[in-house]
Chain A
Amino acid sequence: MVLVARNLSKHYTMGASVVRALDDVSLTVAEGEFVGLLGTSGSGKSTLLNLIAGLDQATAGELLVFGDDLAKMSSETLSRHRQKNVGIIFQSFNLISTMTAAENVALSMMFAGVPRAERERSASDLLTAVGLGGRQTHRPKELSGGEQQRVAIARALSNTPRLLLADEPTGNLDSRTSKEIMALLKDLNERDGKTVIMVTHDADLAKRYAHRIITMLDGKVLSEVTA
């Protein structure tokens, strides 16, 4: 199993009130799956994704990613988990504006300790693979939204993770560009066997690409539908 969550909770205490961002969530994701996470705003989709990414710690429950309990990891091990096990794709791309496309892709390899020549070669290959072969030295400002998201996907792939986490990857894109990005993710899932967990607001999009759709409400899993 790529992912096993048992009775996972994430609570935020705001003074007297407690916000249950995640409330007793249990689910599993198998290798090679394409999972769509649907739900209204504030239902806890991003919270769940951040926990899987190891960017945040659960309040209660168990979360195993590739068999390892994230709750038991030190911050150092968690950073290695983010480096090697998962690739994260954001709605707002989150590229570093002062770096070129190639430098952005190479950055996570830099943290992984990959030597310069090797990561430059990899970055170039990855950019070519996402269809940006000719835009290596362009900075984010000089790229369209779709192109920026391609760079972000290339960066997410750079340390060859088996799990891709995408938080509304097409949220900032028009429908045509969205389709291109979705096609790219589908390709990665089908051709390279990457497991994909994608948060989206778009139920149609989820139905078209995901093998399984998990719908959340108020921090709980409302329904699981396999396509």
Chain B
Amino acid sequence: MIISDTLRLALGNVRQSKLRTFLTTMGVSIGIASLAGMVSLGVGLQDQFVGRFMQAGVFDAITVSSGNNGGLPALLGGRGRGRGRAGRGGRAGNPPVEGAAPETARPEPPALDEAAMTAIKGLPNVKDVFPNIRVPLQMHLGEFEELGTAMGVPMSAKDEGAFRTMSAGAFFANDTDDSCLLSLDMAKRINETDPKSLVGRTLTLSYTASTATPGAPAPTPMPTMPGMPNLGALLQMKRVDRTYRIAGVVEREPGAGLGGFGFANVMIPLSKAMEIDGQVVRSAQALLTEAPTKTKTYTSVTVKVTKAQFTEDVEDKIKGLGFQAFSINDALQGAKRAFIILDLVLSLIGSIALAVSSLGIMNTMVMSILERTREIGVMKAIGASDSDIRRIFLVEASAIGVLGGVAGIILGWVVGRAINFGANIYIVRQGGEAGNLFSLPWWLIAGALAFSWLVSLVAGSYPANRAAKLNPIQALRHD
């Protein structure tokens, strides 16, 4: 028997009993909708979770620090200067900077300087490399005065993390703009009642600068002697006041802050931060121990990869260069496992409805075969084989299954949209961000269709076999 004829006969059967087929199909569609809806919810929640991290710039970020520092320097903040730089021989007698751990006999790790950044940037799949710069300064605005740190933020952060959704105002117009972003916490400290009104106002940032900064020729360079404090620099300290327009107010996102673009109370364009960083005097000791012409090194830099999947690879390559590297990817493996379990539980719940509807298919097929017993007898008497009969009824069950699958996907989508709509109203009212709680990727559609077909085949196989094994003589006597 030709397959198209099997289809013709089976679909003819389906058409014969429209109401019963419709009801069974509805049963299947509810089962598929609940299963697809549950999986879709699992996927949607995971997308939301992972997406938040993605947007926070977490997965594609690697924090690199120089080799002799164990920990997460970028997260601890601060910036050390000139630690263990080779060629600093002249000053060997001086104590190391800022109470850092004493240098050990280990081979000197490479310095994290511009050259190193260029090297890292040259690695495949690296999108961007920028230093993590935090500078200590004093801020005031009217009555308000506070000591704090300002962080340099690259322009590329504009579409990532907390900066995508500003509470008020906008991101820096360009990298050389004298503008800053305030954290919502900070803004509230300045103006409790209406923090958003601060946008457009001017914030004064003050810091102590050495006039002997590189690039700016010192007016009267004092002769320094090896092993002696640079008293000249001490004398060249001055207070610098800079005014920054408050461009926007940003709220810290949950999940942000690890890796990626950090977060501080005051954020200024990266080039501005680097400029201040070049001038600022952190402590008298630092001033005394550093040569103004020394090559600049960074405590930590952030490396952005082009795609999150390359993170591990790039991380390894950076470690190969002798630096410490850290990304959050490993920490999230556990979360992914948790989502697999969530998906399983949700699918199990969804499967219950499908199991019930598969019984519906079975019942419908048993009924259909009972009704057609005599017809099956006739078909066998005029030459239908057992497998012809089996196939006809399997196709009939399949038609119900696939129809139910299609209807179920549509139903699941509509219900998912409706729940999503309602839930988002609630989420937004609670101050959250609207998102897609239900995700319906193509593989879920294909999977739901395949699954509904499979279920109908399994449910239909018992009745179809029974039909195939009918004794033709008894079937012909049936009425």
Contact = CB atoms under 8 A, between A and B. Distances in A.
Nearest to B5: A110
B409 to A, nearest CB: 31
A71 to B, nearest CB: 17
A55 interface: yes
Contacts of B9: 110
Nearest to B469: A75
B472 interface: yes
Q: Which of B1, B4, B377, B383 has the most CB of A within 10 A?
A: B383
A153 interface: no
Interface stretch (B25-33, B274-282, B362-370, B385-393): B385-393
Q: Is the interface of A mostly helix, strand, loop or mixed?
A: helix
A82 B380 contact: yes
Interface string B378-408: 1111111111100000000000000000000
Contacts of B472: 55
A147 to B, nearest CB: 18
Interface in A65-119: 75-76, 79-80, 82-84, 88, 90, 94-96, 98, 107-108, 110-113, 115-116
Contacts of A24: none
Size category of the A interface is: 20 to 34
Contacts of A50: 473
B383 A79 contact: yes
B476 interface: yes
Contacts of B175: none
B122 interface: no
Given A75-B386, A82-B382, A111-B385, A96 B375 contact: yes
Contacts of A94: 374, 377-378, 381, 476
Nearest to A165: B381
B1 A111 contact: yes
A48 to B, nearest CB: 13
A83 to B, nearest CB: 3
Nearest to A88: B381
A216 interface: no
B384 A79 contact: yes
Contact of A82 (B4, B5, B383, B387): B383
Contacts of B381: 53, 55, 82, 88, 90, 94
A111 B12 contact: no
A45 interface: no
Interface in B1-26: 1-2, 4-5, 9, 12, 16
A159 interface: yes
Size category of the B interface is: 20 to 34
A120 interface: no
A207 to B, nearest CB: 28
B388 A111 contact: yes
Given A55-B473, A90-B476, A96-B375, A83 B386 contact: no
A198 B372 CA distance: 27
A110 B4 CA distance: 10
B2 A115 contact: yes
B276 to A, nearest CB: 85
B382 A111 contact: yes
A56 interface: yes
A80 B384 CA distance: 8
Interface in A122-163: 155-156, 159
A113 B2 contact: yes
Contacts of A88: 381-382
A98 B476 contact: no
Contacts of B380: 55, 79, 82
A79 B2 contact: no
A104 to B, nearest CB: 9
B280 to A, nearest CB: 88
Nearest to A114: B2
24 contacts: A53-B381, A55-B381, A55-B473, A56-B473, A79-B383, A79-B384, A80-B385, A82-B381, A82-B382, A83-B383, A88-B382, A94-B374, A94-B378, A94-B381, A98-B12, A107-B379, A107-B382, A111-B379, A112-B383, A113-B1, A113-B2, A115-B2, A116-B5, A159-B383
Interface of A: 50, 53, 55-56, 75-76, 79-80, 82-84, 88, 90, 94-96, 98, 107-108, 110-113, 115-116, 155-156, 159
What 8 pairs between A and B have smallest CB-CB spacing?
A83-B383, A79-B385, A108-B382, A111-B383, A111-B384, A94-B378, A82-B383, A110-B5
